[in-house]
Structure 1
C-alpha cells in the first residue's frame, strides 16, 4: 500500500504482457508527439491537427507546448470561420473538467480554462456562476488545492468586474453596485470560514481572508444603510472588532493544531498589518499594546501546555517564534528598541536546538538587535 493505492502483484506472464502493452502505448505516444511537433514547426492549423492535440493532451496534459499550439490553432480556425468560437470554447471547457477530475493540480489545464473564459468574456458570454459552482465542487473534494483557490479568485474578480458600473465619470460606487460587490465578498468570507472550520490547516483560505477583510470593510463604508448583512455587520463595524473576531478564530486554531504554519502566519498578519494597527492606535494610545500583551499571554499559556505534553519538556517552536515577534512589537511600540533581553536570547538559543533546520537564522538573530525585521516569521 502506497499513498492509499493497493499494490497488485503480477505473475511473470502478466508482467511480460503488461510490458508489451506499455511498449505499444509509448510508441504511439512518441509518434503522436513527433507528428504534432512537426506540424507545429510547419505552422499547420487545421481541424485534424486540433483533434490530434486533444488526443495527445488526454494522454499527457502536462505538455504545455501542445496547449499553446492548441490555442494558436483555435484562434486561426475561428478567424478563418472554420469553427464557431463559442461552441469550440465550451467544448474545451467540458474537456478541461474531465481532465481536472484526473489531474486537479496540473497548471496547464487551469491555465487553458482561464484562457477559454477570457475569450468568452470578450463578448460577455462567460458564465461565472457555473464556474463558481465547478470550483466549489473541486474544493469540496480537496479544500487545500491552491490551484482551485487561485482559479476561484479569478472567477470572483470577473464577477466583480461584471458588477461594476461601466462609467468612468466617478470613482465612487453606486449603492446598487456596492451591495452586489458586498454580497459576493461576504459569501467568499463565509466560504473561507466553512473551509477553515472543516480543516484548520488551509493556507489558501487564510490568505483569502487577508484580501477579503479590508475590501468588505470598505464596501460597508460605501453603503448609506447599516441593515445589510446583519449577521456579520457587527463584526465589520471597525477594524478593531474585526481583529477581535479573527483573533478568537486563530486562538481556537492554535489550541487545536499548534504545529500548523498557516495559523501562525495569519496571526502575524493580524498583529502587524496597518489596517488593524492604525485603527487600534486611534482607539487609545495603549489599545494596540493591550492587544499585544493579551496575545502574548495566550501564546505563553499554549507554550506551557505544549512543554508539559512534550516527552523531553521542550518548548514549542512556533510558540517561541511568536513570543519573540510579539515582544519585538511591544518594544517598538514602547520605543524600547535595543539589545535583546536575556529571556529573548534564551528562547533564540532554545530554537537553535528544537528547530535545527533554521539554526543559522536564529544565530544571526542572536547577533542582531531584535528588531521586527529580524524576528518576524
Structure 2
C-alpha cells in the first residue's frame, strides 16, 4: 500500500490486456495530437477543432500548447458567433476547467485558462467574482495548502475589491472601509487555516501580504467600525502589538512541529521585515530579539536531549544564528563572532546539503541575513 492506495497485483493475462488497451489509447492520442498540431499550424479555427481540443485536454490537461490553441480558436470565433454565444462558450469552459481542476489541482495551465476566461467575461461585463470566490474557497477546502489556489484567491479578491470600489461612493474613507472589511475577512481566513494546520506555508505567505495592507487601511479610516474595534485595539493598533500577536500565534507551532519550515520562515519574516523593524524603537526591537532567541535556544536544548547523539536541531540552530546576527546588527557588534562561526561550523555537519553555503558565510563571502 502506498499513500493509502492498495497495490493491485495483476496476472500475466491481465497485464497483457492492459498493455493492449494502453497501446490503442496511446495511438489515438498521438494521432489526435498530430492532427491538432497540423490544424494549428494551418491556422484552422473552427467549432470542430475547438471540440477536438476538448478531447485531448481531457486526456492530458497539462498540454499547455492545446490550451493556447483553444484560446486562439475562441478569439477567432468571437466575431462569427457573436458576444452572447462567446459568453456561453466561456462559461462552459469554466465548468470544464473546474471539473479538470478537481483531478489536477496543481496544473499551472488549467489555472491560467480559468483566469483568461474570467478576464474575457469581465471585458463583456459578465463576470461573477463572488461566485468565483466561492469556487476557490471550495477548492482550498479540498487542499488547503495548494499554493495555486492561494495565488488564485488573491487574484479573485483583488477583482472583488476593484468591483466593490467601482460601485461605491467616491470618497477615500468609504474605499478604505471597503478594503478593510474585505481584507479582515481574508486575515481571519488565514488564521483559521493556520490553526487547523500549522504546516501551511501558503496561508502564512498570504498573511504576510495582508498584514501591511490592513495596517494601512486601519490608519486610513476615520472611524473604525464597531465590529473591528477589538481587532484594531488588540492587534493592529501599532506594529509592536501586531508583532507580539503574530509571535504568540507561531510559538505553539514551533513546539508542535519543530521540523516544519513554514513556522520558521514566517518567524524570520516577522523579525527582519522593515514593516516591523522600522516602526520599533531600538530598545524594543532588541528586547524582542532576545526573547525570541531565548525561546528558540530552549527548544533547541529540548531537541538535543531527545536526540541520541545530542545534536543541535537544524532549524533551531539556523534560527539561532539568524537572530544572533540581527542582534549584532542592531547593537553594531561583530556579525561574524566566534560564537556564530561555531554555530555555522556545526551546521556544516548537521545540514551537509548546504555545507558550501555555510562555508561561504563563515568566510564572509556570503551574507547570513
The TM-score normalised by the length of structure 2 is 0.95
Q: Does 1:353 align with 2:349?
A: yes
Q: CA deviation at 1:346?
A: 1.8
Q: Deviations over 1:136-183 (max 9, x none)?
A: 11111111111111111111111111123489xx9xx62222222111
Partner of 2:301: 304
Q: CA deviation at 1:2?
A: 2.3
Q: Does 1:196 align with 2:213?
A: no
C-alpha distance in 2 between matches for 1:78 and 1:361: 55
C-alpha distance in 2 between matches for 1:132 and 1:165: 18
Counterparts of 1:21-40 in structure 2 under 5 Å? Answer: 21-40=21-40
Q: Does 1:333 align with 2:330?
A: yes
Partner of 2:244: 244
Partner of 1:180: 178
Partner of 1:134: 135
From 286, 290, 300, the equivalent of 1:289 is 286
| Runs of 4+ displaced beyond 6 Å | none
From 180, 195, 220, the equivalent of 2:218 is 220
SS of the residue corresponding to residue 367 of structure 2 reads: helix
Q: CA deviation at 1:123?
A: 2.6
SS of the residue corresponding to residue 98 of structure 1 reads: helix
User: Cα distance 1:126–1:165, how it changes in 2: closer, same or farther (>3 A)?
Assistant: closer
Q: CA deviation at 1:56?
A: 0.8
Partner of 2:268: 268
Q: CA deviation at 1:127?
A: 1.0
From 360, 365, 368, the equivalent of 1:364 is 360
Partner of 2:368: 375
Q: Deviations over 1:218-251 (max 9, x none)?
A: 1111111123413422211111111000000121
Q: CA deviation at 1:298?
A: 0.9
Structure 2 spans left out of the alignment, 5+ residues: none
From 305, 311, 315, the equivalent of 1:314 is 311
| Greater helix proportion | 2
Q: CA deviation at 1:353?
A: 0.9
Q: Does 1:324 align with 2:324?
A: no
SS of the residue corresponding to residue 2 of structure 2 reads: coil
Partner of 1:147: 148
Q: CA deviation at 1:13?
A: 2.1
Structure 1 spans left out of the alignment, 5+ residues: none
SS of the residue corresponding to residue 258 of structure 1 reads: coil
